[in-house]
Structure 1
Amino acid sequence: MTALLKIQTFIQAYAQAISSILESDVTVVDNELIRVAGTGNYAIEIGSTIAHANFINGILETGESGIITNVAEDPNCNGCEKRAYCKELANLAYPIFKNGVVVGVISIIAFQEKQRKNLLKNRTQLEEFLKYMTMLLESKLYTSEAKDRLEQQLQVVHDDNKVWSFVGKSQKMQEAIAIGRKVAKSDSTVFLRGESGTGKEIMAKMIHDLSHRRDKLMISINCAAIPENLVESELFGYEEGAFTGAKKKGAIGKFELADKSSIFLDEIGDMPLHLQTKLLRVLQESKLERIGGQKPISIDIRVICATNKNIEQMVVDGTFREDLYYRLNIIPIELPPLRKRKEDIPALVEYYIGYYNQKLSKHIQGVAAEAMQTLVNYNWPGNVRELKNIVEYLANIVEGEEVQLADLPDHIVLRSAKGFEAWSLDKIMEEYEKRVLTNMIKEESSVEDKERLADTLQISRATLYRKLKKYNLL
């Protein structure tokens, strides 16, 4: 399907509007010579291949406008099967561009002598008019392409567990999930609260996937990741010439892309104060204006926002608008940190071991009791995201079928609140001795390798062999 055919409905309405203004008929042909739109005599030929290809092919090849002033005499009409009974008296055509390539032609057609005289008399002005009309069509093509690109990324899977997943049965997490499921069917704004790594984006995806908007892509934007001077253009878009460096045709913003869908505003607490005012107005009026725009654009969106900051304190400090806070905080959902749902850690570890076994073609069967207890006792400041990263690390370095305490990173063991509880000093020393030897010995070390290792550790070869045997490393 050609670029113009993808927006055929829009182009037909566009052609009819131009025809009404000029009081002449209008037709649009794509680069495969298919009539995409038409009025008057050509309204019934939409979707068919045109007959008078010479003239249109010339426009497509040269990228320059052209005109037929008299069908009976114009050489462009030589060989046309319809020339003898053609109802066209004149034809003014202008190329339609996309990325510098001609993708079609728009024509003003004169079927009456009065229309022909008017076309010839006002040719220069009409060419200029068509030039700006094709620029608007090109802008529409860009917008359509951007939306298509985003839609292609959408893979709607109605099996909830394949799209998003919460592991564990802790009461606090189950309460948060229950609220998310309950409010998913509405269009009310949801405010997700919780530390980094607690699953706010996964919760947002769950809410979107269970909503009536799930057939469209949820648009996500991290307010903290965009330079402050670009946040407004990213969110609301801009028109051509709105500022230095603006794209020639302007750009659509994330809010327009999210029309009829959901938009997820992550790290909303980092949104600049001056933009909070504009966001509040958009939420209240369901309309926005691009930077440099002259007219409001209606949008139909569902807003889900998230933060790891103390928004209430920011309101007190004057860094977050109070009225915006109340507008966003309609349905608050608090996601608990991992340290407050430690009963879920074994299930999470098991889940991610299975995930990385498949992804990395590993065969880890489980975690030794001491290692699991250490993981449970660790405080997990990075929450589930940190745990996932640790399991990925283990999946890469563990060579056996079971994760041992010695396999855990040092900072996990050292910072585990009860990692060494009830351990004697000898037990602690043994554990670290095993860790050191495990990391230094090679799986297929030769006698010479072991001799060099003994020299490096400044112990005898007999002592080294005894320790290797003790820890099953021979």
Structure 2
Amino acid sequence: MEKILELEFIQNYAMAISSILEADVTIIDKELKRIAGTGEYKEKLGEKIPNDSLFGEIILKGYENNIGNCLEKEACLKCEKKNYCKELANIAEPIYLNGEIIGVIGIIAFNKNQKQCLLEKKASLEEFLKYMSLLLESKIQLAMEKNKLEDQIKEVINSQSNEFKRNKYIGMNKKIIEILNLCDKIANSTSTIVITGESGTGKDLLAKYIHSVSNRKDELMISINCGAIPENLVESELFGYEEGAFTGAKKKGHIGKFELANKSTLFLDEIGDMPLHVQKKLLRVLQEQKIERIGGKDSISIDVRVICATNKNLEEMVKNKTFREDLYYRINVIPIEIPALRNRKDDIMNFINYFIKIYNKKLKKNILGVTREAEKLLVGYEWPGNVRELRNIIEYIENILEGSYIDVKDLPSQISKNNGINILNRNLSEIMGEYEKNILQELMKEIKTVEEKDLLAEKLGISRATLYRKLSFYNL
């Protein structure tokens, strides 16, 4: 049988009934195993009772409401333990779950006084035991729903954690690898982190990665987008509120994100959009590690690791008095800046190949890669929307592409019209460097030996040392 009745509260439940009735209680599961008991049966938990016993017949044959002198019961007379059984009388009631008998609860008399009391109060005890059986069914149902929910949460946590353990993929650029190495070092710290970077660079993914390699990974990371919640609701979402705290408050109050994230990680996305009056309360929470619900009087201790993210310049906001200076220094203990995709072009094809695999599986396609002409345009594009824009474009292409390779004609117009070099906001040295890198990158695709490199240097009219220096400079 499933371990439906093997719940921690069952034994405590039996002991509570026993103390009320001043009689002994036992509970048997569907496999005829004793899973709770008082008096002499407290020492016999885990033993199996005979199939032909009274409780056995209730479970196997569905008998209802059995009470009486055990010495006169037919089931007791043929029980294999009748010669040394100490039960003189009992009441037994089936325990149901969704219409199925999953066990039996019984009140047992081991001496003459208990027996007399049981038989004299037969009617009232029958009703009492029926009520106890229904109450126990209700508690088991609630416990099972709670366990089911906890299992679902654990499944989500494990799935998320395994994803980041199995695939550390946020990029292979040198700067990104340095960031990931830093995250590994500070993962178990309690110090606050601020992740900055343009929109679409993957700040939320980096926060999830930090959580997944921390000692809090077995708990669910809680996230809140401070810019997506109406200003008047940010405080109640973060800290919760008590019943009647304000007009429209829920009858039983509301648990805030800080309480939900206790023993875990709280990710405050777009913290630059947090209202000033909430910033003040957040500072106090970070300093004291305690919160107060709106309308509440008691402080609640919390253990939360806070990771913040923003695409805004918090230093400028401090100068402009739109972000508290004291909060800025309190949260900016470990600053991490994710570079824009245009500054890590060596990651572009890695991302493209990665997203092709994802959408091949999701959309049941079989795209094999990108043509050289399309690759030039994709690598040369500035990607103002960063990785998010790249992912969306690959998903779009996978939906419309009929061939096996992504070509120039399949690219959106903003990319297909791009000549590979965006001269806006760039000096001549940067433009020429980009051009030189693209040429060398293309030429090196066919170069495999030292002799071929020497020949290439000769064709380009430069020394071998100069060629090697340029290749090293461009990470080619």
Shift of 1:410: 1.2
Whether contact under 8 Å (1:346, 1:376) holds in the other structure is: yes
CA contact (8 A) 2:17 2:25 kept: yes
Does residue 36 of the first structure (1) align with residue 35 of the second (2)?
Answer: yes
Change (3 A) 1:365 1:414: closer
Tell me if structure 2 keeps the 8 A contact 1:368–1:403.
Answer: no
Say which SS state the counterpart of residue 185 (structure 1) adopts.
Answer: coil
> How far has the Cα of 1:375 moved from its partner?
2.6
Cα contact 1:60–1:105 (8 A) shared by 2: no
CA RMSD of aligned residues (A): 5.6
CA contact (8 A) 1:4 1:104 kept: no
2:71–2:88 CA contact under 8 A, matched in 1: no
Letter in 2 for 1:166: I
Stretch deviating more after TM superposition (159-168 or 405-414): 159-168
Q: Is the 8 A contact 2:370 2:407 kept in 1?
A: no
Alignment of 1:224-303 (within 5 A): 262=265, 264=267, 302-303=305-306
Question: What's the CA shift for 1:165?
Answer: 1.0
Q: 3-state DSSP class of the match of 1:4?
A: coil
Equivalent pair of 1:12/1:36 in contact (CA under 8 Å)? yes
Inter-CA distance 199–31: structure 2 relative to 1 (3 Å threshold): farther
**Corresponding position: 1:366 with 2:382:** no
Q: What is the aligned partner in structure 2 of residue 4 from structure 1?
A: 4
Q: Distance in 2 between matches of 1:409 and 1:133?
A: 63
1:178 aligns with 2:177: no
Matches within 5 A, 1:353-392: 353=356, 356=359, 360-369=364-373, 371-392=374-395
Q: Distance in 2 between matches of 1:276 and 1:56?
A: 65
Q: Report the Cα offset of residue 183 of structure 1.
A: 1.0
Cα pair 2:87 2:108 within 8 Å, conserved: no
Q: Tell me what 1:208 maps to.
A: 211
Give the distance between the partners of 2:302 and 2:11, measured in 1 at CA: 23
Aligned mate of 2:166, from 162, 173, 176: 162
What is the SS of the residue equivalent to 1:205?
A: helix
Offset at residue 387 of structure 1 (A): 0.7
**Equivalent pair of 2:71/2:77 in contact (CA under 8 Å):** no
Partner of 2:155: 152
140 and 317 in structure 1: CA distance in 2 versus 1, 3 angstrom threshold: farther
Cα 1:221–1:420, aligned 2, differ >3 Å: closer, same or farther?
Answer: closer
1:224-272 per-residue CA deviation (whole Å, 9 max, x = no partner) reads 7899989979998999xxx99999xx99998888776556565667889
Deviation string, structure 1 residues 311-333 (Cα, Å, up to 9, x no partner): 78899999999998777655443
Alignment partners' CA distance in 1, 2:33 and 2:396: 57
Q: 2:370 is matched by which residue type in structure 1? A: G
AA aligned to 1:202 is L
Alignment match, 1:430 = none
- Opposite residue 341 of structure 2, the aligned amino acid is L
Determine whether 1:404 maps to 2:403.
Answer: no
Residue 237 of structure 1 contacts residue 252 of structure 1 at CA under 8 Å; is this kept in 2?
yes
Contact 2:265 2:307 (C-alpha < 8 Å) held by counterparts: yes
**Secondary structure of the residue that 2:4 maps to in structure 1?**
helix
C-alpha distance in structure 2 between counterparts of 1:19 and 1:293, whole Å: 39
Distance 1:71-1:327 versus aligned 2 partners, 3 A rule: farther
**Is contact 2:30–2:59 with CA below 8 Å preserved after alignment?**
no
- In structure 2, the partner of 1:50 is 49
Partner of 1:89: 89
Q: Which amino acid aligns with 2:170?
A: F
Contact 2:183 2:210 in 1 (8 A): yes
Distance 1:329 1:407, change over 3 A: same
Could you tell me how far apart the structure 2 residues matched to 1:335 and 1:14 are? 55
Q: Indicate how the Cα distance of structure 1 residues 292 and 325 shifts in structure 2: closer, same or farther if over 3 A, else same.
A: same
Measured against aligned partners, the alpha-carbon deviations of 1:11-53 in whole angstroms (never above 9, x if no partner) come to 4455456656765544333344433333433334433443376
Aligned partners of 1:24 and 1:282: how far apart in 2?
53
Equivalent-residue separation in structure 2 for 1:234 and 1:61 (angstroms): 55
Alpha-carbon displacement from aligned partner over 1:70-94 (angstroms, at most 9, x marks no partner): 4334577575444553426334647
Does the 8 Å contact 1:168/1:348 carry over to 2? Answer: no
Q: Distance in 1 between matches of 2:128 and 2:73?
A: 22
Is the CA contact 2:15–2:38 (under 8 Å) kept in the aligned structure 1? yes
List alignment gaps of at least 5 residues for structure 1: 422-474
Decide whether the 8 Å contact of 2:280 with 2:327 is kept in 1: yes
Q: Percent same amino acid at aligned positions?
A: 41
Task: Name which of structure 1's ranges 134-143 and 154-163 shifts more when overlaid on structure 2.
Answer: 154-163
Taking a change above 3 Å as real, the CA distance of residues 77 and 301 of structure 1, as seen in their structure-2 partners, is farther
State the distance in 2 between where 1:244 and 1:61 align: 51
Per-residue CA distance 1:416-438 (angstroms, 9 max, x = gap): 884699xxxxxxxxxxxxxxxxx
Unaligned runs of 5+ in 2: 425-476
Please tell me the residue identity of whatever aligns with 2:41: Y
Give a deviation string over 1:204-241, Cα, whole Å, max 9, x none.
33223322344x364454557899989979998999xx
Distance 1:394 1:30 in 2: 58
- The whole-number CA distance in structure 2 between the counterparts of 1:56 and 1:328 is 64
Amino acid aligned to 1:207: I
Aligned to 2:201: 198
Q: CA deviation at 1:384?
A: 0.9
Q: Is residue 28–residue 103 contact of structure 2 (8 Å, CA) maintained in 1? A: yes
Query: Judging changes above 3 Å, is the alpha-carbon distance between structure 1 residues 90 and 400 closer, same or farther for their aligned structure 2 residues?
Result: closer
**Cα distance, 1:138 vs. partner?**
3.4
Alpha-carbon offset, residue 181 of structure 1: 1.2
Deviations 1:346-370 (A, max 9, x none): 332344345556764535343424x
* C-alpha distance in 2 between matches for 1:39 and 1:402: 73
What does residue 463 of structure 2 align with?
none
Shift of the 408–298 alpha-carbon distance from structure 1 to 2, 3 Å rule, reads same
Match of 2:338 in 1: 335
For 1:373 and 1:57, locate their aligned partners in 2 and report how far apart those are by CA, in whole Å: 79
Give me the TM-score of the superposition, normalised by structure 1.
0.61
Residues 1:293 and 1:411: Cα distance change in structure 2 (over 3 Å)? same
Counterpart Cα distance in 2 of 1:246 and 1:63 = 44
Match runs of 1:416-431 below 5 Å: 418=421
C-alpha distance in 2 between matches for 1:400 and 1:244: 56
Distance 1:95 1:367 in 2: 68
Q: CA deviation at 1:275?
A: 12
Report the Cα offset of residue 9 of structure 1: 4.3
Aligned with 1:167: secondary structure?
coil
